């Protein structure tokens, strides 16, 4: 008799557990849309997409000379210098919006960027930065300084820039400019506005 009672009690407990699980999970999937008073759904969408931005200056090439030409762009504001620097480089890699020339092949990607306590930005690119486009001496120098000047011009925390390819140091991008040391900005390469 005792075994029968224990068996029924166990079965009753199992049924109770199943019913409890069903009770608490039955309402999942239903979403209640809560509207804010006084704000229409359209206005709510507009408000949520208006984020603070910060202006940055990117440096591209021109057909007219062997100088870097400034182009302003807005990126989402962030309190992290590293994140803002990453966004700036990614904007640079996307190319000009004003008809200037990008010094980088479209396949190039930023792999990583970090900044040391000494103010050196270590910028790591995918291998396409050196493989996808053969650089001459001038174009290789301008490609490097478009990165260096973009970072040092926009972020006072960055004093020098060290370039890496696929996480490793390289002698050059394409056989011309020594990459074994960090680069200081070179404002002489920036075209003046008339």
Check pLDDT > 80 for residue 47. Answer: no
3-state SS string for 130-141: HHCCCCCHHHHH
Check pLDDT > 80 for residue 14. Answer: no
Check pLDDT > 90 for residue 118. Answer: yes
- Sheet containing 110-115: give its strands across: 110-115, 120-125, 160-165
% of the chain exceeding 90 in pLDDT: 53
- Give the pLDDT confidence score for residue 23 in this predicted structure: 58
pLDDT tens string 124-151 = 999 998 876 666 788 889 999 999 999 9
Q: How many helices (H) and strands (E) does the chain have?
A: 5, 5
């Amino acid at each position: 008799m005792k075994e029968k009672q224990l068996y029924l009690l166990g079965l009753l407990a199992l049924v109770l557990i199943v019913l409890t699980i069903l009770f608490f999970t039955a309402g999942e999937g239903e979403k209640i849309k809560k509207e804010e008073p006084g704000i229409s759904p359209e206005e709510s969408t507009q408000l949520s997409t208006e984020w603070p931005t910060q202006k940055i200056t990117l440096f591209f090439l021109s057909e007219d000379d062997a100088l870097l030409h400034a182009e302003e762009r807005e990126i989402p504001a962030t309190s992290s210098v590293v994140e803002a620097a990453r966004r700036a480089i990614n904007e640079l890699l996307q190319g000009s919006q004003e008809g200037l020339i990008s010094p980088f092949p479209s396949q190039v990607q930023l792999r990583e960027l970090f900044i040391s306590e000494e103010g050196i930005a270590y910028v790591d690119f995918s291998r396409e930065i050196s493989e996808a486009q053969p650089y001459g001496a001038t174009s290789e120098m301008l490609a490097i300084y478009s990165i260096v000047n973009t970072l040092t011009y926009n972020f006072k925390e960055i004093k020098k820039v060290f370039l890496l390819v696929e996480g490793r140091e390289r002698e050059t991008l394409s056989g011309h400019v020594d990459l074994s040391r960090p680069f200081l900005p070179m404002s002489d390469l920036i075209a003046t506005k008339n």
